[in-house]
Amino acid sequence: MRRMVKTPVVVLVVFVVASTLVLAACEPAEEAVEATNPTDNPWTDGEDLSGTEVEVFGAFVDTDAENFRASMQPFIEQTGIDVVYEGSGDFEALITVRAEGGDPPDIAAFPQPGLMYDLIEGGHIVDVLSFMDRDYLLEQYAEDWLDIAEHDGLMGGVWYRASVKSLVWYNRHVFEEEGYEIPTTWDELIALSDQMVADGYNPWSVGIESAGATGWVATDWIEDIMLRTAPPEAYDAWVQGELPFASDEVRRAVDLMSEVWLNEDYVLGGTTSILTVPFGDAINPLVMDPPQALMHRQAQFIVAFLPEGVDVEIGRDLDFFYFPMIDEEFGEPVLTAGDVFGMMQDRPEVQAVMRYLTQGESTRAWLEYGGFVSPHEDTPLDWYPTDLDRGIAEIMLNADTVRFDASDMMPGAVGTGSFWSGMVDYIGGDDLDTVLRRIDDSWPTD
């Protein structure tokens, strides 16, 4: 069963307009860069490729686009290959149109592997192993990352950026004042929640409202728990439609999430609040004075949603810990998202850029800006500018298992459809058996 992500349906006129805007945003160099090291570098295989150009198309825009361009500068200066980046918020729609219309970019930066899988199946992606050795890639990445990039026997791309989801944010002042210890197991997490209730606190803040995407917060919780209660092979089978939602493994993950979510003593505002509070606002109760809740599970990006005008310092007021293990036999896994770069045109200069992207050096400028985690094994921790960034990077590097967000890899009708909506229905009171069967029934049969 193939895995994919949804492709938005957009009127062709919008595609044309968006394509024009993307091209207009392109910033090619006005003149060729004078290469400082055109042949004696790690990327061009001894060839002088100066004066050539490589187009990278992705979803990075605004500051992210500027940071990516900055991270390409060492390569450009040494090789003389001009790397031209184009970014669009309509990337998922446009990349499919460009590929099928015979106008693919040289390299596409996919924010999810599922869409890359679709283009692999369509014959639009070049196998990375046609010019790079797997042994080399295993030096640059943990094997789990390579497994996620591989589809239909083809290595579809190389990883560039990671986003760690297995985090619990907490109010550091209250933890220190009350002497609460950081939990390292699920049982300790539940015991801590009980102690907080006894001490008069709301342990958890949970909010999942996200307009048409409402429900994804619940799927993240279930995915994180699933990695801690079932073998990675079961998680992979679930993603591929080979392990039903109605299975014991998935049911147990939902039941464990329910220990927190459906406990009215645990969650600020109860299930009504869960369904109505926007996900970006759910961190706010932790930093109110006095705090209205003490813990919130969410990915590293949530700090960008902290309320303006509130004096909050990460590490002083708000901190994080690793979402703890549940079954010891499955160790300490990490749920992640990230960006994988697929090669769509096969030329020497394009291969050179792909080699560069496999190295931590290709991320350094963005990483040093902050808010970025590199999946590369050769990225030194001392490059990270803050304890926050460094601590999150260490969690990922020390993971026993790394798996990508399951809902982003399932068919769109399920992962971003019935799975999301089904969790909303369940939290709203629908019977779990009925919800899980309904999700299973939505799985595409072709």
Would residue 74 be called left, alpha or beta, if left means φ above 0 and alpha means ψ between -120 and 50 degrees? alpha
Query: Contact 189/183 with Cβ under 8 angstroms?
Result: yes
Query: What pLDDT does 34 receive?
Result: 81
DSSP string over 354-384:
HHHHTSGGGGHHHHHHSS-B---TT--GGG-
Amino acid at the residue 170: Y
**Binned average pLDDT, 10 residues per bin, the chain of 446 residues:** 34 35 42 84 97 96 95 98 95 93 97 90 97 97 94 96 96 98 98 98 97 95 98 96 98 98 97 97 96 97 89 93 97 95 98 98 95 94 94 93 93 92 98 98 89
Query: What pLDDT does 412 receive?
Result: 85
Same fold, 44-164+335-404 and 167-332+406-441: yes
Query: What pLDDT does 22 receive?
Result: 39
Is 44-164+335-404 a CATH 3.40.190.10 domain? yes
- Domain segments of the chain as ranges: 44-164+335-404, 167-332+406-441
Report the C-alpha gap between 203 and 126 in whole angstroms.
Answer: 49
Q: What are the CA-CA distances from residue 434 to residues 157, 332, 437, 438 (Å)?
A: 38, 32, 5, 6
State both tokens at 178. Answer: 């009350």
Please state which CATH number belongs to domain 167-332+406-441: 3.40.190.10
Closest CA to 43 of 184, 52, 367, 257: 52
| Global pTM value | 0.84
State both tokens at 27. Answer: 């910033």
Query: What pLDDT does 32 receive?
Result: 62
